Amino acid sequence: MEPTFFSFKDKGKGSQQALGAIGYRQGGSGFNGSLLHDFELLVLVVCAHNDDNDIHIEHCMNGEVPYQIRYIGKDELKNWVASGENREIIHCFFHGEVIWDIGGEVKALRQELADFGGSMSESRKLKEFAKFLQTYVEAKQYTRNLDYMDAYFSVLQALKYYARIELIDQGIAPDKSVWEQIRSFNTVVYKLFNELTDSQETLEQRIELVLLACEFFVMSRMEDCCSVLLRILGSRKEPWSIQELIVLPELAHVKEELPMVIRKLVYRSLVKQTAHASGDHARDGREIRYWV
C-alpha cells in the first residue's frame, strides 16, 4: 500500500485533529463486506476527537481506485474495544497498514488496545457476560415453550459470548472469528460448541446439556464477570437506584442489560436490595435500591 496514496487534504481536518491513518485492503474479489460498502480499500483516519461522535464518511478516488474514508475518534475506538461493538472497524484497525502516523500515536494506541488489560478487559467481560446471560435466559424460555429451533439459536449465541469471556481470561481481545480464536485452547466452551453442533443426540438433548453447562457457568463466574459493577455498588454507603447506575459513564456499555444483571445478582445473593421510601407517602412510590 503506497503511503503517498493519500497525501491528505484530510490530515488537517479542522477540529477533528487527525493523528494518523490506517489503510485496510480487502483481499479477493466480489462483495467486500458491510463496512467497506463494496470498496476494496478502507482508510480509517484516527482523530484526537470526533465531533459529537458523528459518523463522518467520504468516498474518494485516487486515479482509477475508489476508496472509502472513515473518521473515528480514539476514545470511540477504546469504547468499542471495551464494549465489543463495531467489530468490523476494530478488525480493520488492528489488521490494516499504518499509512501515516503523527508522533507514533496510532501505533501506540493500537498497542494499548492490543494489550487489552486492566479496566478495559473488565468492562468487556461485563458486557459479554450480560449478553451471555440475556441469550441464556432466552434459550431457557424457548425450551420451556418446546420451541427448540429458537432455543438452539439462542444457546448458540450464548456459547459465543461464553467463548469471548474465555478469550478475555486469556488476555486476548475477541475478534470476529471467535471460534477460530478459541479452538487452539481446547476449552470447555469449544467442546460444548461441538456437542451442540455436531452430536448424534437429539436437538432437545443437546440443548438441555448445554443449558446445564451454562447454568454452572452463571453460578461459578457471575461474581468475577460482574466485578466492575460490584465495585461500583460498594463504592459508597448509600444504596443505588437502577437509574443512577444506568446513567454512569462506566456502565454506559451495558445500560440495556443492566436491569436484568442486577436482578440476577440479587437472586444469587451477590447484591442486596432495600426498599427506599420516596416523598411523604407511606408505601406508594417506594423504590428498590441496591448495595453490597
DSSP letters, 99-164, are EEEGGGHHHHHHHHHHH--HHHHHHHHHHHHHHHHHHHHHHHHHHHTT-HHHHHHHHHHHHHHHHH
Q: Quick check: do 116-225 and 229-292 share a fold?
A: no
Task: List the domain boundaries for the chain.
Answer: 3-115, 116-225, 229-292
Q: Encode pLDDT of 163-206 as tens digits.
A: 999 999 998 888 878 999 999 888 999 999 999 999 999 999 99
Quickly state the pLDDT bin for 155 (edges 50, 70, 90).
Answer: very high
**What is the architecture of the domain spanning 229-292?**
Orthogonal Bundle (1.10)
What pLDDT is stored for residue 80 in this prediction? 86
Distance set, CA 6 to CA 41, 62, 215 (Å): 12, 8, 52
Per DSSP, the three-state class of 250 is helix
Quickly state the pLDDT bin for 229 (edges 50, 70, 90).
Answer: very high
The residue-averaged pLDDT of 139-166 equals: 97
**What is the architecture of the domain spanning 3-115?**
2-Layer Sandwich (3.30)
Lowest-confidence segment of 15-19, 81-85, 149-153, 233-237 by average pLDDT: 15-19
Q: Encode pLDDT of 104-136 as tens digits.
A: 999 999 988 888 777 889 999 999 999 999 999
**Mean pLDDT score across all residues of the chain:** 87
What pLDDT is stored for residue 3 in this prediction? 39
Quickly state the pLDDT bin for 15 (edges 50, 70, 90).
Answer: very low
**What is the architecture of the domain spanning 116-225?**
Up-down Bundle (1.20)
DSSP state of 73: E
Pairing of strands 65-73, 41-47: parallel
CB-count burial class (<10 Å; 0-12, 13-18, 19+) for 147? middle
Cα–Cα distance, 233 to 135 (Å, whole number): 25
Q: Is the pLDDT of residue 76 over 60?
A: yes
Per DSSP, the three-state class of 97 is strand
